[in-house]
Amino acid sequence: MPETGAAAAASGMAARKSSSGTAAGGAGDRIVFDDVSKFYGEVLGVNRVQLSIPPGITGLVGPNGSGKTTLMNLMVGLLRPSGGTVRVLGMSADQPEQLFRRVGYATQYDAFPPGLTGYQLIESLLRVHGCDPRQAAALAWQALERVGMVEAAGRKVAAYSKGMRQRVKLAQAIAHQPTVLVLDEPLNGLDPMARAELIALLRELAAAGLFVVVSSHILHEVDLISDQVVMLNGGYVVAEGDIVGVRDEMEEQHPAQVLIRCDRPELLAAKAFEQDHVVEARMLADRSGVLLRTRDAGRFYPMLNRVVVEQGLRVESVAPADADVEAVYQYLIDGPPGNGGRP
Amino acid sequence: MSGPPLTAGAAVRLPPEPAPPGAPSASGTDVSGVTGAAGAAGVRGAGAPWALWRRQLAAVVRLELRKSFAGRRAFGLYLLALAPIVVLALRALVPRAISDPGNLGDATRLLADVYQAFILRVVIFLGSVAIFGSLIRREILDRSLHFYFLTPMRRELLVLAKYLTGLLVALTLFGVSTLGSFLLAYLPYDGRLRNAFLLHGPGLAHLGAYLLVTALACAGYGAAFLALGFFFRSPAIPALALFGWEAIHFLLPPLLKQLSVIHWLQALCPVPIAEGPFALLSDAPSRWVSICGLLALTAALVAVSAWRIRRLEVVYLDD
């Protein structure tokens, strides 16, 4: 484990935030990690993970080596925990016969069985699922259509571009219509149009009640698509829950930053400072706005509305400056955002 | 990426999970009239989904045959299987290579030498290393083993399916090799004597015995190299050790000979061969002891592989 990871992990356990609460809900209708650890020899994969993942899109975020893939592989039984238990909708990974009727997994491995076309890959694996030839063909075409790969279905997978391979992996994961979809870095290699389409597809699946677990080391991506996030660093879960909830719980230690562009920022700063929860006001260099820091966002926004109305301010924009996944992640592992990048 | 929703209103549905023992019958028929394989199997099998397993087994065999044995990788195997045929074909075609076309005994002795010294010890042995040693190991090197592990298939069944695929390929290749060698060994001889030998003499019995030995060798060596693939990163090293052990088996004392696969296989060959002045002689085991022993060894080794794959984790090299 890298030094930064270890340090962050040590502090991470203490600083761990949970807005959803662990182990909420029945174990049979969630993905539950109960005190799960995984070591590769003496190398830490993940340690003491306690999670209860509900339906919807859950983003696993963290830098490379933080334990995202390990967590996913543990979920589907490609790895076995060194300690603790993992149950997906009440099923153990020791029962692949049941588990993989309900779980689809697109791994990050960019390798495929040799010699197969995209269609043959999907159809063959559906046959391994137990489908008869008609079913397998119908489901394979359906999945390929969903990921926009019908045209390329007859070409060898080995000749596919990176983006096409990502899509055929997704087709393989969704072809048997799983309830739980686990996707390891699914947006890697996709062009902007394909990314937008994939994100729309994931949202559609989540809206239909699926569990969609997505990993990414690009925090911005996860922020865009996730209903809740699990933040990992150095093999430890440092925070989990919906990002707003996690951010709210950090207000005492890391006051929320709000950037307001308006015509009289000095007046707004003065009025804001009258509130006990506003701890800092910093004027922008071009005097076009002010950055305010507050320990209570719930009281801040009504106050802002009142001041704007009472003082007749012309407001151009109001934007949280540190309420995204990236900022929260940086607070958790590295101090304030903008201090030099990721760990 | 567009199309109808995947779950709600999808045109095709997967078969339900196999029903547990005693569960009420459930229809596996979806809106399009496709009958759910697993569902039907589960009901008929009363908890033992034999139909589903058979279907999964067939699917893996089909996929393995397509991806592993129809491509360029299999080219070396085909050459290996052809080698004895080519050698014997050249002998049959070269004028005056046969000193006495009326002496079928020469052909019988030559075939025994070629079969036991070359086909059995080299062609089938190395072919089995290539076929069975790569069934699992090759998938790990290709980083594609997880595709099978992410399907609702018992891993033990996957091992069995892969083993059967390998066996099918090995039996086809080396069965043809054995048959071709047999026919070519007798081809240059007098036709009348040859027909009498094959149709009215011991010819067909010899052929049957050679094919049986080939089948048992493929099964036994195959099971051994499949199992070794779970214990060694490269099956080449243990294969080399086993090759050496088999090569010197004629020098071994009787007790150690019994730890050699070739000892049991040679006992089934129709014509014994001379093993040189340094060979330590021992009683040949009976035919049925050899057959049953080799089959039992095969079953035990496949069971070891099934046990190993149950605990196998997918951690590819350089992960």
Lowest mean pLDDT among A169-183, A218-232, B51-65: A218-232
Q: Is pLDDT at B263 greater than 60 in this prediction?
A: yes
ipTM of the complex: 0.74
Q: Is A293 on the interface with B (CB under 8 A)?
A: no
| Residues of B with Cβ-Cβ distance to A80 under 8 angstroms | 311, 313
Q: What's domain A255-321's architecture?
A: 2-Layer Sandwich (3.30)
Q: Is pLDDT at B57 greater than 70 in this prediction?
A: yes
Determine the pLDDT at residue A192.
80
| Residues of B with Cβ-Cβ distance to A131 under 8 angstroms | 14-15, 37
Determine the pLDDT at residue A334.
64
Nearest CB to A114; choose among B32, B142, B149? B142
Determine the pLDDT at residue A187.
85
Q: Which residues, including other chains, have CB under 8 Å from residue A218's CB and lie 6 or more apart?
A: A187
Q: Which residues, including other chains, have CB under 8 Å from residue A115's CB and lie 6 or more apart?
A: A156, A158, B66, B67, B68, B70, B71
Determine the pLDDT at residue A91.
92
Give residue limits of the domains in chain A: 3-248, 255-321
CB pairs under 8 A between A and B: 165
Q: Is A180 on the interface with B (CB under 8 A)?
A: no
How far is Cα A143 from Cα A168, in angstroms, rounded to an integer?
A: 9
Is B35 in Cβ contact with A128 (below 8 Å)?
A: no
Q: Is pLDDT at A177 greater than 90 in this prediction?
A: yes
Determine the pLDDT at residue A211.
94
Q: Is A151 on the interface with B (CB under 8 A)?
A: no
Give residue limits of the domains in chain B: 43-310
Residue A216 parent element (H or E)? strand A211-216
Q: Which has the closest alpha carbon to A179: A126, A101, A122? A: A101
**What does pLDDT average to over chain B?**
80
Q: From the CA of A7, how many Å to the nearest CA of chain B? A: 23
Q: Is pLDDT at B110 greater than 80 in this prediction?
A: yes
Are the C-beta atoms of A73 and B314 separated by less than 8 Å? yes
Q: What phi and psi, each to the nearest 5 degrees, are found at residue A166?
A: -60, -40
Q: Is B315 on the interface with A (CB under 8 A)?
A: yes
Among A129-143, B183-197, B248-262, the range of highest mean pLDDT: A129-143
Among A161-165, A216-220, A249-253, the range of highest mean pLDDT: A161-165
Is A131 in Cβ contact with B37 (below 8 Å)?
A: yes
The average pLDDT across B182-202 equals 89
Residue B223 parent element (H or E)? helix B203-231
DSSP assignment string, A47-63: EEEEEEE-SEEEEEE-S
Is B151 in Cβ contact with A100 (below 8 Å)?
A: yes
Q: Is B63 on the interface with A (CB under 8 A)?
A: yes
Q: Give the pLDDT confidence of B126-181 residue by residue, as tens digits.
A: 999 999 988 888 888 778 888 899 999 999 999 999 999 999 999 999 999 999 99
**What does pLDDT average to over chain A?**
83
Residue A80: closest CA among chain B residues belongs to which residue?
B313
Residue B279's pLDDT band (cuts 50, 70, 90): low
Determine the pLDDT at residue B23.
37
Residue A26's pLDDT band (cuts 50, 70, 90): low
Q: Is A131 on the interface with B (CB under 8 A)?
A: yes
Q: Is pLDDT at A24 greater than 70 in this prediction?
A: no
Residue B48's pLDDT band (cuts 50, 70, 90): low
Residue B21's pLDDT band (cuts 50, 70, 90): very low
Q: Is B231 on the interface with A (CB under 8 A)?
A: no
* CB under 8 A, 24+ apart: contacts of B283-292: B283/B254, B285/B258, B290/B216, B290/B264, B290/B265, B291/B212, B291/B216
Are the C-beta atoms of A319 and A256 separated by less than 8 Å? no
Determine the pLDDT at residue A37.
94
Cα distances (Å, whole numbers) of residue B277 to B135, B229, B243? 40, 37, 21
Residue A139's pLDDT band (cuts 50, 70, 90): very high
Determine the pLDDT at residue A323.
67
Tokens linked to B263: 């000892």
Determine the pLDDT at residue B253.
83
pTM: 0.77
Are the C-beta atoms of A262 and A292 separated by less than 8 Å? no
Cα distances (Å, whole numbers) of residue A67 to A237, A238, A323? 9, 12, 24
Determine the pLDDT at residue A299.
86
Q: Which CATH superfamily is domain A3-248 in?
A: P-loop containing nucleotide triphosphate hydrolases (3.40.50.300)
Q: How many residues does chain B have?
A: 319
Q: Is pLDDT at B41 greater than 70 in this prediction?
A: no
